Amino acid sequence: MAHTGLRSIAHIFKSLLEINGLDAARLLKDAGLEANTSDDPNARSPIKAADALLIRAASLIPDEAWGLKAARCWHPGNLGVLGHAWLASDTLKAGLTRMARYWHIVGSRAEASVDETNEGCRFTYHLETDEPVLAALLPDIALSVTLSMCRTNAGDTLRPVQVTLRRARPADAGPWESFYGCKVQFGAKDSSFTLAKSDADRPLPTANRPLAGVFDSLLTEQLAKLSKSDVVSRCKAEFLQQLASGESNADDIAQRLHMSPRSLQRKLAEVETTYKQLVDETRRDLALGYIADRTKSITDITFLLGFSGQSAFTRAFKRWTGLSPTDYRDRHSATA
């Protein structure tokens, strides 16, 4: 599959190259990545062009930590609808969950996920590449921008409680630990940062739930329009669109994707997942966001997630979190 990313991301790259002292306009032009000048905010570019740009830039910049400066280069508009949806999120956990759910809109090659751990709310950036420059650089860019977005909502004093990076430990870890404000574990299995539960769950003054709902609808449509070979994103998008109208099944989704149930099963197996797993992951992410909204009753959430009844939702929620929805909400409220 030819991976693509939002063309407007070129604005971030342009600023990042400029503050590192490079002729950004020339480098972007050479890579075929001029900033988006079309009227389409959803215009996309080949990721291989961005790869070539970053590898070239890395050969010209002596600072090994230069990717962290991307935190100073982003604007909500660079991420299209997703950037504005982020600003309307109720909590940082809701914003990070939204980022993970729609990450393929930013770039179709990488993945992102959000998990609750003993330490707090962990945001993980997943990228599989054999190119050593990209393997070290892209997590720096992705995580620094995402944490900067968190700080935009919650304040500049926000500090993760844990940071892990797959890159080998550099000779000087100071730039990374100064940026994150905590010790960084290098050579880790994943690239991630973890926010304390109290920070992740704190209501944000920038929250706008109705507006966030409108943005989510637009993002779902964008996700569905991505490359037809991106079966995971399309499957999730179709499932999200059908949730409120009732519980869908794999045959329904296959029909909407214009393929047979057997073909859908085979394509999902090729990426080591199943329709049942995708549904479960999507419902879990939505449930954790809905449960933090006390204006929604457990019955409302049961309906919104397409469960057959409240008991079925409760069983699933206990499997995800170890707690009933009511107990989880009470604990969440006490923490907040």
Residues 252 and 195 in one domain: no
Residues 6+ apart with CB under 8 A from 294: 329, 333
pTM exceeds 0.75: no
CA dist 5 and 227 (Å) reads 11
Let me know if residue 136 belongs to a domain. Answer: yes
Among 188-197, 271-280, 320-329, the range scoring the smallest mean pLDDT is: 271-280
CB 261 within 8 A of CB 247: no
% of the chain with per-residue pLDDT over 90: 48
Residues 154 and 242 in one domain: no
Q: What is the mean pLDDT of residues 201-218?
A: 85
Residue 247 pLDDT exceeds 80: no
Categorize the per-residue pLDDT at 124 as very low, low, confident or very high, splitting at 50, 70 and 90: very high
Q: Rg of the chain's alpha carbons, rounded to an integer?
A: 20
CB 108 within 8 A of CB 230: yes
Categorize the per-residue pLDDT at 207 as very low, low, confident or very high, splitting at 50, 70 and 90: confident
User: Of 184, 201, 218, which residue is a domain's last?
Assistant: 201
The top-scoring range by mean pLDDT among 165-179, 254-268, 290-304 is 165-179
Place of tokens 């397409």: 306
Residues 17 and 135 in one domain: yes
Let me know if residue 213 belongs to a domain. Answer: no
Residues 194 and 255 in one domain: no
Let me know if residue 245 belongs to a domain. Answer: yes
Let me know if residue 221 belongs to a domain. Answer: no
More confident: 307 or 133: 133
| Biggest alpha carbon–alpha carbon distance for the chain | 60
CB 119 within 8 A of CB 194: yes
Categorize the per-residue pLDDT at 216 as very low, low, confident or very high, splitting at 50, 70 and 90: confident
Q: What is the mean pLDDT of residues 182-200?
A: 96
pLDDT, residue 211, reads 84
Among 70-84, 103-117, 282-296, the range scoring the smallest mean pLDDT is: 282-296
**Can you list the pairs that 300-306 forms with residues at least 24 positions away whose Cβ atoms lie under 8 Å?**
301/325, 303/244, 304/243, 304/244, 305/243, 306/242, 306/243, 306/244, 306/246, 306/247, 306/248
Residues 285 and 161 in one domain: no
Residues 172 and 321 in one domain: no
State phi, psi for 245 to the nearest 5 degrees.
-90, 0
pLDDT, residue 334, reads 56
pLDDT digits (tens, 9 = 90+) for 80-112: 889 889 989 999 999 999 999 899 888 888 999
Let me know if residue 173 belongs to a domain. Answer: yes
State phi, psi for 4 to the nearest 5 degrees.
-135, 165
Residues 287 and 151 in one domain: no
Among 194-203, 214-223, 225-234, the range scoring the smallest mean pLDDT is: 225-234
Task: Specify the 3-state DSSP secondary structure of 121.
Answer: strand
CB 186 within 8 A of CB 170: yes
Residues 140 and 51 in one domain: yes
Categorize the per-residue pLDDT at 230 as very low, low, confident or very high, splitting at 50, 70 and 90: low
Categorize the per-residue pLDDT at 113 as very low, low, confident or very high, splitting at 50, 70 and 90: very high
Q: What is the DSSP letter of 158?
A: -
Residues 157 and 293 in one domain: no
Residues 185 and 311 in one domain: no
What mean pLDDT, rounded, does the chain reach?
87
pLDDT, residue 249, reads 82
Closest residue by Cα to residue 175 from 43, 63, 320, 40: 63
Opening angle at CA 158, ends 152 and 160, nearest 5? 120
Task: Specify the 3-state DSSP secondary structure of 117.
Answer: coil
Categorize the per-residue pLDDT at 227 as very low, low, confident or very high, splitting at 50, 70 and 90: low
pLDDT digits (tens, 9 = 90+) for 292-312: 778 889 998 988 888 888 999
Residues 6+ apart with CB under 8 A from 147: 71, 158, 160, 180, 193
Helix (H) or strand (E) holding 112: strand 111-116
Let me know if residue 222 belongs to a domain. Answer: no
pLDDT, residue 188, reads 96
CB 167 within 8 A of CB 91: no
Residues 123 and 39 in one domain: yes
How many domains, in total, are found in the chain?
Answer: 2
Let me know if residue 207 belongs to a domain. Answer: no
% of the chain with per-residue pLDDT over 70: 91
CB 135 within 8 A of CB 167: yes
- The residues that bridge with 46 in the sheet, in sequence order, are 4
207: tokens are 């929250």
CATH number at residue 283: 1.10.10.60
Residues 75 and 185 in one domain: yes
CB 250 within 8 A of CB 266: no
pLDDT digits (tens, 9 = 90+) for 33-64: 765 444 566 778 888 889 999 999 999 999 99
Let me know if residue 206 belongs to a domain. Answer: no
CATH number at residue 32: 3.90.1520.10
Q: Which residues form the domain of 137?
A: 4-201
Q: What is the mean pLDDT of residues 308-334?
A: 88
